[in-house]
């Protein structure tokens, strides 16, 4: 690998990876504040795996699958990188499945040099691939290997995001430390219900990345049981 390419890859991981991971973590906090039952289930796993006497280590990562699943599901519903652009290196034909309920495929010829844009939002909300796509459902990722191509939020193949393992490790570590010590709940406006908060807050905001603009939550210190 050439030096310039190495510098470019490091820059991508440290700069681009910072914003995308931060956006996904913010979205995850919003969803967990809204879905208290899922937050409780995740905290129980953190208590079981890590406890309160030590900080998590990388060896704990495979055992914190519910923490990872919450992070991946947030990334599915609000993909920071919402489009992927590729240039065809040679003449090819894309084999596109017909609409759900229709058998067969549609063949789409692509000429060399054609720019192809993949709609990541449309892909990750496609009921062909995700049951109840508009529902926050981390359990759909339970048992998923970290490098599985079933999750497309970091792209797949030879051009996949080089920071995937770094981002998922960072996300799991942050959420584990946060949720172990702090309870997250919605910060409601006067006379606002949780459902109204969800409609107001859990909505897409497009700036440079796709995410949520503001996530008003309240953090309350958890009461640890003394054994």
CATH code of the domain covering residue 57:
1.10.630.10
Residue 16 is assigned to a structural domain of this protein: yes
Average pLDDT over residues 36-51: 97
- Average of per-residue pLDDT values in the chain: 88
**Higher-confidence residue: 51 or 146?**
51
pLDDT at 191: 95
Global confidence as pTM: 0.85
Measured CA to CA, the distance from residue 28 to residue 90 in angstroms comes to: 40
Residue 129 is assigned to a structural domain of this protein: no
Residue 71 is assigned to a structural domain of this protein: yes
Residue 165 is assigned to a structural domain of this protein: yes
Does the structure show a pLDDT above 50 at 89? Answer: yes
Count of the separate structural domains present in the chain: 1
Residue 158 is assigned to a structural domain of this protein: yes
Nearest to 160 by CA among 172, 148, 170, 173: 148
Residue 106 is assigned to a structural domain of this protein: no
* Containing structural domain, residue 35: 3-81+135-221
Measured CA to CA, the distance from residue 184 to residue 190 in angstroms comes to: 19
Residue 72 is assigned to a structural domain of this protein: yes
Residue 68 is assigned to a structural domain of this protein: yes
Q: What confidence tier does 155 reach under pLDDT thresholds 50, 70, 90?
A: confident
Nearest to 79 by CA among 35, 135, 125, 29: 125
pLDDT at 1: 62
């Amino acid at each position: 690998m050439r030096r310039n390419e190495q510098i470019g890859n490091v820059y991508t991981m440290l700069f681009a990876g910072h914003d995308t991971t931060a956006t996904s973590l913010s979205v995850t906090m919003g969803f967990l504040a809204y879905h208290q039952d899922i937050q409780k289930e995740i905290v129980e796993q953190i208590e079981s795996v890590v406890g309160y006497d030590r900080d998590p280590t990388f060896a704990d990562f495979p055992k914190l699958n519910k923490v990872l699943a919450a992070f991946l599901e947030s990334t599915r519903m609000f993909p920071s990188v919402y489009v992927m652009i590729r240039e065809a290196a040679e003449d090819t034909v894309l084999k596109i499945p017909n609409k759900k309920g229709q058998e067969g495929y549609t063949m789409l010829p692509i000429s060399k040099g054609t720019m192809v844009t993949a709609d990541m939002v449309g892909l990750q909300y496609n009921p062909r691939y995700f049951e109840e796509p508009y529902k926050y459902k981390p359990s759909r990722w339970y048992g998923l290997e970290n490098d599985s191509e079933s999750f497309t939020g970091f792209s797949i193949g030879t051009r996949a995001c080089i920071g995937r393992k770094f981002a998922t490790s960072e996300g799991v570590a942050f959420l584990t430390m946060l949720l172990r010590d702090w309870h997250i709940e919605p910060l409601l406006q006067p006379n606002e219900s949780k459902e109204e908060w969800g409609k107001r807050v859990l909505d897409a905001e497009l700036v440079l990345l796709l995410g949520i603009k503001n996530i008003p939550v309240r953090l309350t210190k958890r009461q640890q049981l003394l054994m």
